[in-house]
Structure 1
Amino acid sequence: MRKLLYLLLIVSVLWSGYWFVGAYAIRSGADSWFAQQAQSGMVAEKSTLTVAGFPNRFDLTVQDLRLADPRSGISWQAPFAQVFAMTWKPWHIIAALPPSQVVALPDQAVTVDSQDLKASVRARPSTDLPLQEVRLAGTSLGLTSDLGWTLGLGEFTVGLRAEPTVSPSTYELGFDLAPIIPDPAFLAALKAVDIPDLPPPNALQFPAPDFPDQVESLQGSIYLTLSAPLDRHAGDARPYLTKVEIRQFNFAWGQLAATASGLIEADGNGYASGKITVEVTNWDRLPALLVAAGVVQLEVAPTVANGMRALAAQTPDPTVLSLTLDMTDGQMSFGPFPLGPAPLMVPPSG
């Protein structure tokens, strides 16, 4: 019994030492990070920084946090941010974010109100710490701009997960963002759009906008292949995209629905090359949406819709508009419409 007590005492002392050494390293690393940001010209401010959670967790709490890039005019301000990690698996980090934050952009400030907003980063236990998964989820999310617009989400999730069976540097971007609550002013403007019907011989009648108050579906699965894995060497390797494969993309808002799939990858000259096919069901609802968004003028909408009808007539189902984003030889087009040069995927230093 005495030996067992001695053993428990030794283990407790060693574990306590491990925790305090780890807590000191975390606190020192965080303080060093804030100092480095300030030296590089960034704004990185806080009131307090503490590490708690003994003996089973490392809980880092930063109060009155403000990060800003004076050159871009982008900043983030939050009353607190917390980062948690279990002592026996420090490669799995969970962050809890406050119910209210402010993101400032060059032309506006957006207040972010949320419930149960959490993020997690998980690496594989290895000396290189390869990324296994990044995940952001919440029960609700609301955006309110000082320019007057709002946008809301219900329960949502966004994640980036390693897919080593495809390649060591391939990751799946998965998301489920619906229901989406559009800005009430935009929704009112959309429902007020009245596109005049086309007279004969191009007779075309437009349905009254019948969009519900919420977008029912926005989800997808996109595979991203990078030039190098996301691990502790990423700062030196600076990975960039070499391939994008849309395996699933679904959007549904009332009678209007859209899907997309395809593959884009860098060609021999580093330009994006490949095809992505977009199919829009009940495309006759699309012109009103384009008018409300300011993409198309009301007087031009009938002509645009007539062109859509002509393209949809080439498919087996005239209610489905199918267009292909085609990138070939450094140029790209969307259906019959040329869009100009394709984006460069491989940096010039490549």
Structure 2
Amino acid sequence: MKRILVIVMVIGTLGVAAWFGWAAFSKRAIESWFAARVAEGWQVAADDITVTGFPLSFETRLAGLMLADPATGLAWTAPDFTLRYPSWDLSRITAIWPQSHMIASPDERLTITAEALFSILDVTPSARMALAGSQTRMRGLAIASSQGWQSQLAEGQIDMIRQDGADARYDIRFSATDLVPAEQVAKLLDPGGILPPAIPVVSATALIDFDRPWDIGAIEALRPQPRRIDLTEARAEWGALTLRLSGALDIDAEGRPTGEVAIRAQNWPEMLAMAERAGLLPPSLRQTAESALGFLAALSGRREDLDVTLRMDQGFVFLGPLPIGEGPRIRLR
């Protein structure tokens, strides 16, 4: 009995020593990472770094945090930020954001508030911490811009899973409920206030190939850039309007997409009117677009429903042989 007690005490002592040793190592690793960023010209501040959670977990809390990257012009400030992982599984990290934090660029400052905002990250246990999967959950999220607009959602989630055998291919799923668009956007699209104030359902599912994996380098240097998007479906329902998108796009180094996107729209004439009110469609082209789309909709059997395919070629958008205009640039800053 005495021998068993001695063994238990030794194991317990070793466990305690291992926990405090790893806690000290974790703190030094973060401090070293901050020092490396400062050497690269970043602005870095952290009022305090503490590691708690003994004995079942490690909970690293950073207080008074500020990171500013001169290469991208992006800066992030937060009163606190927490990383938590169980003692027996260092590859599963829970990142917990504060109720309010701020992201700034040279053009805009975004204040983000949330009742709950956290991510569960599955990473490879290596220096680069390559992302194998993540689950981000949002509740009561609101974004306020220094340019005067605000937006919010009741619930949202983003899931990201790396595909087997492809280091930089990820299955990404997004969903949100009760999404309230910025007031300026809502007034442009719906000046009469006919539509509900919130979009009840927004969702998207896509398989995206990036130019490199998502790992710690996505913070240290540039974000991985999408090179191919296989969009299974993007869907939005707003009042009587329903919009669905699907398709596949290849994206060049300048962010210009090439490929096809199928659009399925219910009550499309109202969407066309909304696009005109928002300034996305010149009034001079409204009648032409309405006639052309009306003809295409009639071919599908219901004049109120539209089923067309947009073709994108090196950044330009075509409806059949007709050029519509310049397409979006798809780049992550």
TM-score category (smaller protein): 0.7 to 0.9
| Conservation of the 8 A alpha-carbon contact between 2:66 and 2:78 | yes
Higher mean alpha-carbon deviation, 224-233 vs 243-252, is at 224-233
Identity %, equivalent residues: 24
Aligned residue number for residue 154 of structure 1: 154
Letter in 2 for 1:172: D
- Aligned mates of 1:107, 1:266 — CA distance in 2: 25
- Aligned mates of 1:172, 1:291 — CA distance in 2: 34
In the superposition, relative to structure 1, how do residues 309 and 274 fare at CA in structure 2: closer, same or farther (>3 Å)? same
Letter in 1 for 2:323: F
Deviations 1:118-163 (A, max 9, x none): 1121135689865321222111111112222110111100121123
SS at 2:317 equivalent: strand
Higher mean alpha-carbon deviation, 240-249 vs 215-224, is at 240-249
Is 1:221 equivalent to 2:220 in the alignment?
A: no
Q: Extract unaligned runs of 5+ from structure 2.
A: none
Letter in 2 for 1:175: F
| Conservation of the 8 A alpha-carbon contact between 1:323 and 1:334 | no
Letter in 2 for 1:337: P
Letter in 2 for 1:65: L
Letter in 2 for 1:263: A
- Aligned mates of 1:51, 1:210 — CA distance in 2: 52
Aligned residue number for residue 32 of structure 1: 32
- Aligned mates of 2:256, 2:14 — CA distance in 1: 55
Task: Please report how far the alpha carbon of residue 219 of structure 1 lies from its aligned counterpart in structure 2 after TM superposition.
Answer: 0.5
Structure 1 residues 314-333: aligned runs within 5 Å: 314-327=299-312, 332-333=316-317
Letter in 1 for 2:87: T
Letter in 2 for 1:113: T
Task: Please report how far the alpha carbon of residue 314 of structure 1 lies from its aligned counterpart in structure 2 after TM superposition.
Answer: 3.4
| Conservation of the 8 A alpha-carbon contact between 2:230 and 2:249 | yes
Aligned residue number for residue 337 of structure 1: 323
Structure 1 residues 61-140: aligned runs within 5 Å: 61-70=61-70, 72-123=72-123, 131-140=131-140
What is the aligned length? 325
SS at 1:178 equivalent: strand
Structure 1 residues 1-350: aligned runs within 5 Å: 1-70=1-70, 72-123=72-123, 131-164=131-164, 167=166, 169-192=168-191, 210-226=194-210, 230=214, 241-265=226-250, 273-297=258-282, 301-327=286-312, 332-335=316-319, 336-337=322-323, 339=325
Task: Please report how far the alpha carbon of residue 54 of structure 1 lies from its aligned counterpart in structure 2 after TM superposition.
Answer: 1.5
Q: Extract unaligned runs of 5+ from structure 1.
A: 194-208, 346-350
Higher mean alpha-carbon deviation, 179-188 vs 21-30, is at 179-188
Instruction: Kindly name which structure, 1 or 2, has the bigger radius of gyration based on alpha carbons.
Output: 1
Deviations 1:194-213 (A, max 9, x none): xxxxxxxxxxxxxxx73211
Task: Please report how far the alpha carbon of residue 300 of structure 1 lies from its aligned counterpart in structure 2 after TM superposition.
Answer: 5.2
Letter in 1 for 2:304: T
TM-score normalized by the length of structure 1: 0.81
Letter in 2 for 1:46: A
Give RMSD over aligned pairs: 3.2
- Aligned mates of 1:301, 1:325 — CA distance in 2: 18
TM-score normalized by the length of structure 2: 0.84
